[in-house]
Amino acid sequence: MYHRLSRSLLMSFALVSSACSTNADGDVPIGTVSFQNGVDSYAGSTDTEMREAAATANFGEDVTCNADGDDGGGSDKSCLIRWTLSGMPAGAVVQSASITLHIADATANTYEVYGMRRPWSESAASWTHATASEPWAAPGDAHATDRGAIIGKLTGDGNVTVSLNDAGVALVQSWVNGDEANAGILIADASKSDGIDFASSEHEAVEFRPKLSITYDAGLQPPRTPSPSTEPELLVAFIGDQGANGMSDAVLELIRSEGAAAVVHNGDFDYENNPPAWNARIDRILGPSYPYFAIVGNHDASAWDGPEGYAAFIAARHERVAEMDCQGELGVKAICHFRGLQIVESCVGTDELAGHGDCSADSSEQVGFIRDALANDDAVWSVCAWHKNQNDMQVGTKSDEVGWDAYRECMAEGAMIATGHEHSYARTLTLTNVGDRAAAHGATGVFGIVELGAGRTFVTVSGLAGASTRDYDATQHDDDTWWASYYSANKWLKNGLLEPGSGTSGALFVRFHVEGDARRAEAYFKDVNGRVVDQFTLRAL
């Protein structure tokens, strides 16, 4: 992503220690800045140690911080550090970042550096609590909702610099942008028995205190030729699994009241095999000329064909609404464009549909179609839309019914993946290795931001359009580490934090091309009671 920064702002930026040069071509200013307590009046670094053996104690004023997988009594220690980046220009593009610590008690072991997800207090954090009133999801900040990916590794003696990996650079960029609360880092490894001690931000020797260094460019590159984006402030609703009841009506009424310009309905319409009544419901609430993109689901297959079938009513709507610009077989294998948004409709995994080519899991016909549709389009925003799921890509009991190939093609081209089928709502973190469970599907980044670009996607299930609301299945999903948010009959997680209350029907809304930024979108899931269940930012890289 490209950002701009004025030369006057760049030259006035000197928080701790900074320098400017140019890149190899001599045309893009390159800056470095370091944050270390006591240097140039900087006082924004905080840290504290957490000790399993003193689970409720706080050590925020200690002059050293220790990480240990066994303190001699079988208990663990870990260390939290955070640097405030106040005053750093939001337009700076982070190129690299590193952390320098002064090791006072060396070890041959290597300790992991994690990006933190949950905010914490230096004066209150302990083994059990992040703040005075909020506990960790698991003691010792060990849960995936508390801490994120490994962003570096620490070992050695004396002054040691840890260069952050790509996930670390992305995390620092999110701090610079102000997209997500800066929760700092965690140093820990429960498997190691020889600890590591280093100077804290309270250490008497200023030069020994933890230091964060960032190299960035000023974002003054010549602008690239823009790709087609959506019209500004385009709001689209994503739903699935509708039913034919009062709750089904309430969801459509919510969509109308939110002012969505279109609906993408990812399968399972009325569950009654009554296409005329289903179409009449849409006409009555949203209107006969409302843009409504509908993809086949398993409960639609038996009434799909014929003059009174779902396909016929979908085709008639497309005929009436010229801006629903589609080529191919609607709801089965079609490439659609709507006000600059690309929607790739696929039946992959919905093998209940007969006579319409191969809709089975990992269908080479459907996977190849998805690949070509995305590769041959330069839209900023693309959506892969199908009905069914893989077990890891929903939070209920659905089995592997799609195969990973379709997911991987969408990831390769940086498309959002929108599904239904499971009667709950769920959203992943940014995924960079979808299909590899051992690698947590490459989950990376922070809860409130997803990135779309080559090799980066996220998956959402919006299956609460009225039919029913199902439970989160703890047996199958409590060890999942890739969810940012989910909403079910028995459990609600919002951007990594458990919330009270049970789920009900609603819709996912995505507003593309926000506040003049063609490559930014804002999304939220709202239920029929007006509760905002999830809220996040999308960035097209």
Burial class from Cβ neighbours inside 10 Å (0-12, 13-18, 19+) for residue 476 reads middle
- Give the model's pLDDT for residue 167: 83
Whole-number Å distance between alpha carbons of 294 and 150? 40
Whole-number Å distance between alpha carbons of 444 and 147? 11
What's the whole-model pTM score?
A: 0.65
Judged by phi (left if over 0) then psi (alpha if -120 to 50, else beta), residue 241 lies in left
- Give the model's pLDDT for residue 142: 72
Whole-number Å distance between alpha carbons of 287 and 279? 10
- Give the model's pLDDT for residue 1: 28
**Adjacent-strand bridge partners of 82:** 46
Mean pLDDT of residues grouped by 10 in the chain (541 residues)?
28 40 51 89 92 94 91 86 76 89 88 90 94 87 76 91 90 79 89 89 95 79 55 96 98 97 98 98 96 98 98 96 95 96 98 97 96 93 98 98 97 97 98 95 94 96 98 97 98 96 97 93 98 97 91
* CB contact at 8 A, 401 and 390: yes
Exposure string for 260-291, b = 16+ CB within 10 A, e = fewer: bbbbbbbbbbbbebbbeebbebbeebbeeebb
Indicate if the alpha-carbon torsion angle 368, 369, 372, 378 is positive or negative.
Answer: negative
- Give the model's pLDDT for residue 229: 83
- Give the model's pLDDT for residue 498: 96
